[in-house]
Amino acid sequence: MKKFRNILWGIVLIIVGLIWGLNATGITDINIFFDGWWTLFIIVPCFIDLFKESDKTGNIIGILIGVVLLLSCQGIINFDIIWQLLFPAILIIIGISIIFKDALGGKVNKEIKKLNESKSYDNVYCATFSSQNIKFDNEEFKGADLTAIFGGTKCDLRNAIIAEDIIINATAIFGGVEIYVPSNVKVKVKSTPIFGGVTDKSICENKENSHTIYVKSMTLFGGVEIKWQQHRKL
């Protein structure tokens, strides 16, 4: 899937380069900088990211906003009327996504759902207009809820004992969540990005004999970052 997205980006750049070059030589006279051209910086990345293996809600909303702004710049639609309908439409899209995400979430979501039915934990952390650092040293970690609202939450699992597959629910709203994991675990991500995203920099040194950390995230103008650190022998 990543390879396909790279191909799409390559095609976009080739087309822009060709048009620019043909215009420069006088062969064509295609106006690249048409009214609302800047909206393509919203539409194109959101469209290409539809091919990522993650929740598509944020990308669909981005495309909707970009297309509305483009049509408004072209004078095709009345911006005032559309502006009044835009946010209700966004709420409807988010609502539909919440209702159907379990059914359409794919293999990772099914694995998370199955784990949720058999696992429980009491580790709930929330940073609101503040920062919070959580560290698990030489103790078993069975999962957690990590939330950052206009703040930051950092969870350090580099010395934690992870003896089974676990789930981390991470929510970042105008904030950030950092998760440090050792190299002796696998990481699988199921994300719902709404003008936000998840970065997974984890590296598993032995995938066949490793437990899995499932990170289920929701980001709204925020981010979740999963960082790798070589496992420390205790």
- Using one digit for the tens of pLDDT, what is the confidence trace for 173-229? 889 999 999 888 889 888 877 777 888 888 877 777 788 999 988 888 889 999 886
Hey, what are 5's tokens?
């997205």
**Res. 135 pLDDT band, cuts 50 70 90:** very high
**Res. 121 pLDDT band, cuts 50 70 90:** low
Whether the per-residue pLDDT at 85 is higher than 50: the answer is yes
Q: Does some domain include residue 234?
A: no
Q: What is the pLDDT averaged over residues 153-157?
A: 93
Of 180, 166, 161, 190, nearest in space to 226 by CA: 180
| Buried-state track 130-169, b at ≥16 Cβ within 10 A, e below 16 | eebebebeeeebbbbbbbbbebbbbbbbbbbebeebbbbb
How high is the pLDDT of residue 233?
Answer: 47
How high is the pLDDT of residue 100?
Answer: 60
How high is the pLDDT of residue 231?
Answer: 47
- Does residue 47 or residue 230 have the better pLDDT? 47
The parent domain of residue 186 ranges over 107-229
My answer on whether 112 and 101 are in the same domain is: no
Answer whether 81's CB lies under 8 Å from 45's CB: no
Which amino acid, 25?
T
Confidence (pTM): 0.60
How high is the pLDDT of residue 234?
Answer: 43
My answer on whether 32 and 82 are in the same domain is: yes
Hey, what are 116's tokens?
């949720």
The tens digit of pLDDT for each residue in 124-134 reads 888 999 999 99
Decide which of 64, 82, 105 is a domain's last residue.
Answer: 105
Decide which of 84, 105, 126 is a domain's last residue.
Answer: 105
Q: What does DSSP say about strands 144-149 and 166-173: parallel, antiparallel, or unpaired?
A: parallel
My answer on whether 96 and 60 are in the same domain is: yes
Q: Does some domain include residue 80?
A: yes
Domain count for the chain, please give it.
Answer: 2
Q: Does some domain include residue 135?
A: yes
How high is the mean pLDDT of the chain? 80
Of 195, 184, 152, nearest in space to 170 by CA: 152
My answer on whether 42 and 153 are in the same domain is: no
Of 113, 215, 202, 134, nearest in space to 168 by CA: 215
Decide which of 67, 84, 105 is a domain's last residue.
Answer: 105
My answer on whether 38 and 95 are in the same domain is: yes
Q: What is the pLDDT averaged over residues 87-102?
A: 69
Task: Provide, rounded to the nearest whole percent, the portion of the chain with pLDDT above 70.
Answer: 81
Burial of 124 (0-12, 13-18, 19+ CB in 10 A): exposed
